[in-house]
Chain A
Amino acid sequence: MELAMLDTSPWNDQKEVLIEQFIQSLLRASKPDAERILHQIQQANSSFPQSVESIVVTSLERIGRDWETGKVALSQVYMSGRICEDLMTATHPENDGPARIFGKCAIAILNDYHMLGKRIVLSALRSAGFNIQDWGRLTPEQVVSRIEENGTEVALISTLMLSSALSVREVRTRLDAKGLKCKLLVGGAPFRLDKVLWKEVGADSTADNAMDSIRALSTLLGRQA
């Protein structure tokens, strides 16, 4: 794809064009095109890291919203998140160091071996500046032990199977029994299909997609999304 040349109009005007180009490159899963656009931004704007972050987050947000309405597919959300995570790691080496958004958070899959949702959410949250521990696949008992060991403030739990979603209740019960105040943010297909299920299992919030999880996590941490 031929990318439009940057003109001399104010940055904000250029930004909207670049976001659209960036989104299209992500939806095509073209990392080279996405990289080229970031390079253009680097040349055009002196506040490069902040501009990149803003464009990446805005783009992922729009892609997430379009997935909600059925305009884009999960594979496109996944590939977009993966590409953005790679690009942000390259442009924000501090990602390996202290987080830009503080709060002890972790994400886990409960029982299932279906890792895709967690991967997508993790990419979006890391691209947005959160430092999230990835605990992989755990049982409810193991989740609670990790929360206790790490002093976790918010645990994000991803599920695909209904039985796994229902076992979030066991996590809550075990947390309460130990007097742990960790908040639970849940997501996955069962919670999308049954809008009150997150309350039924004792979670503190739910998110329908990766960008929702940024908002929900920010709220649970007491910060602006």
Chain B
Amino acid sequence: MKVMTSLERVLTTLGHSEPDRVPLFLLLTMHGAKELGLGIKEYFSKAEHVVEGQMRMLKKYRNDCLYPFFYAPGEVEAWGGEVIYVEDGPPNSGEPFISSPKQIVGLAPPNVSTTPCLRKVLDAVNAIKAHVGDTVPIVGVVMSPFSLPVMQMGFGPYLDLIHEQRDIFWRLMRMNEAFCVEWANAQLAAGATAICYFDPVSSPSIVPRELYLETGFIVAKRMLTAIKGPVAIHTASGRSLGISDLLQQTGAAVVGVSAEEDLAAMKTACMGKVTILGNLNGVAMRNWTVHEAEDAVKTAILKAGSGGGFILGDNHGEIPWQVSEDVLLAISDAVRRWGRYPLAKHHV
């Protein structure tokens, strides 16, 4: 089989056929700072840093995607919230900026084109697109309107809102939806190939399926209809098998798989309908040896690789800062050793 470009490889697996090998999405963000010898805060302060970091990591790890995602609280920063930087991990959201549901009535979503922290991401996407054209997929990121309130108002108060003030909950959803669509489509217009829709609250680990059906599922269907490109729904370490049928109904092209779930069971549930992404354990990966990395890759491919419809990645949507270059290189080598199609020959 001829060697495919990363984009061809990914599109083939999304079409539930076998490409030349299993595509690898190393969802690396902070590691770009290591490449440039910068601290995490400084790295994310300029689009040029992220562009340079992503391009260097693409070359080093022979990755099949580019991931110009800065950090999750970038969206709350756009709404006026606080971002807290640490030296050894992703920036975190600070004190929630909605301290009472009463405030929701007076909120207005930020303007994507004029908000500096969002503009910076669009500039990075645009520059990366200029580098790679249509050879490597560029994955943009949005927080689901249903999950963003965890950072906007705090998890407990948000669950109280869902259960006790449904009218105000929907008011918040409408505002978040307007922002989410504009933000996703701006990234696609800037050159992103697809959007990763992070929606951890939808996971059955977080809300029961019945509640998801009444809330996050409705939101997701509206969002995936309005976003003008392919979308991956990722529950960021949360389980998703229990709602895999519903995720398929949203129109998602890809769903993320938790390390707490069996990749083979998820593959069976999604076979021929939606591609699965996962599920290497990012937290455990910090302490892997290169042999353990190879074993983990081999096992994942054995469970989910056959027939396409599979992208190898981590379970969370972001590789922890503490994961070493050696382990990342070992993962990349292993997918080339064990992920070439047809798989059976190589596994024997």
What residues of chain A have their CB less than 8 Å away from a CB belonging to chain B? 27, 29, 70, 72-76, 78-79, 111-116, 119, 161-164, 166, 189-190, 193-194, 196-197
By DSSP majority rule, is chain B's interface helix, strand, loop, or mixed? loop
Please name 4 further chain A to chain B contacts, defined as beta carbons within 8 Å, in addition to the given A70-B260, A76-B208, A113-B92, sorted by A numbering: A113-B84, A163-B321, A164-B89, A189-B237
A-B contact count (CB 8 A): 83
Within 8 A of A (CB), among B134-178: 150, 154-156, 159, 162-163
Query: Closest approach, in angstroms, between the C-beta of B322 and any C-beta of chain A?
Result: 7
Segment of B2-10, B182-190, B199-207, B267-275 in the binding face: B199-207
Please give, as numbers and ranges, the residues of chain B lying within 8 Å of A76 by CB-CB distance. 208
B327 interface residue per 8 A CB criterion: no
In the complex, B284 has a CB within 8 A of chain A: yes
The CB with the most chain A CB atoms within 10 A, among B150, B205, B283, B287, is that of: B283
Contact A163 B88 (CB under 8 A): yes
Report whether B96 and A193 are in contact in the complex, using a CB–CB cutoff of 8 Å: no
CB distance from A68 to the nearest CB of B (A): 10
Asked whether B89 lies within 8 Å of A115 as measured between CB atoms, the reply is no
> What residues of B have a CB within 8 angstroms of the CB of A114 in the complex?
150, 155
The 6 closest A-B pairs by CB, nearest first: A163-B89, A116-B155, A193-B283, A194-B283, A73-B208, A75-B207
Q: Is the CB of A161 within 8 A of B92?
A: yes
- 17 residue pairs A–B, Cβ–Cβ below 8 Å: A73-B206, A73-B211, A75-B159, A75-B162, A75-B208, A78-B156, A78-B159, A113-B84, A113-B94, A114-B155, A115-B154, A162-B321, A163-B88, A163-B90, A164-B89, A193-B237, A193-B283
Contacts of B253-287 to chain A: CB distance below 8 A: 259-260, 281-284, 286-287
How far is A29 from B159 in the complex, measured between Cα atoms in Å?
Answer: 11
Smallest CB-CB separation from B157: which chain A residue? A115
- CA–CA, A70 and B286, complex, Å: 26
> Is B36 interfacial (CB-CB < 8 Å)?
no
B242 on interface, CB distance cutoff 8 Å = yes
- Asked whether B305 is an interface residue with its Cβ less than 8 Å from the other chain, the reply is no
What's the least CB distance linking A53 to chain B, in Å?
24
Partner of A163, one of B86, B155, B156: B86
Interface of A is mostly: helix
Residues of A within 8 A of B204 (CB): 70, 73
Evaluate contact between B156 and A119: CB separation under 8 angstroms. Answer: yes
- Write out the residue numbers on chain B whose beta carbons fall within 8 Å of the beta carbon of A113: 84, 92-96, 154
B contact residues around A74 at 8 Å (CB): 205-207
Chain B, interface size category, equals 35 or more
The minimal Cβ–Cβ distance linking B244 to chain A, given in whole angstroms, is 13
B236: nearest chain-A partner, CB-CB: A189
Contact of A190 among B93, B206, B283 (CB under 8 A): B283
Interface centre among A73, A116, A197 (most CB of B within 10 A): A73
Q: Which of B84, B283, B287 contacts A162 (CB 8 A)?
A: B283
Q: Is B239 an interface residue (CB 8 A)?
A: yes
Q: Which of B94, B206, B260, B281 has the most CB of A within 10 A?
A: B206
Chain A nearest Cβ from B210, distance in angstroms? 9
B95: A residues at CB distance < 8 A: 113
In the complex, chain B residues whose CB is within 8 Å of the CB of A194: 281, 283-284, 286-287
Nearest A residue to B281 via CB reads A193
B320 at the interface (CB under 8 A from A): yes
Q: Nearest Cβ distance between residue B242 and chain A, in whole angstroms? A: 7
Q: Check A166–B322 contact: CB distance below 8 A.
A: yes
A73 and B205 within 8 A (CB): yes
Residues of B275-324 whose CB lies within 8 A of A: 281-284, 286-287, 320-322
Residues A161 and B208 in contact, CB atoms below 8 Å apart = no
Instruction: Quote the shortest CB–CB distance from B113 to chain A (angstroms).
Output: 29
Q: Counting chain B CB atoms within 10 Å of each CB, which of A111, A164, A166 scores highest?
A: A166
The smallest C-beta distance from A101 to any residue of chain B, in angstroms, reads 24
A116 CA to B205 CA, complexed, in Å = 14
Chain A residue contacts of B205, Cβ below 8 A: 70, 73-74
> How far, in Å, is B180 (CB) from chain A's closest CB?
21
Given the known inter-chain contacts A73-B204, A79-B159, A162-B322, please indicate yes or no for A111 contacting B283, CB distance below 8 A: no
A115 touches B92 (CB 8 A): no
Complex Cα distance A113/B281, Å?
24
| A197 pairs with B92, CB closer than 8 A | no
The distance in angstroms between the C-alpha atoms of A29 and B321, with both chains bound, is 38
Q: For residue A72, which residues in chain B have a CB less than 8 angstroms away from its CB?
A: 208
| A193–B284 CB distance below 8 A | yes
With the chains together, A72 CA to B162 CA distance in Å?
17
A162 touches B281 (CB 8 A): no
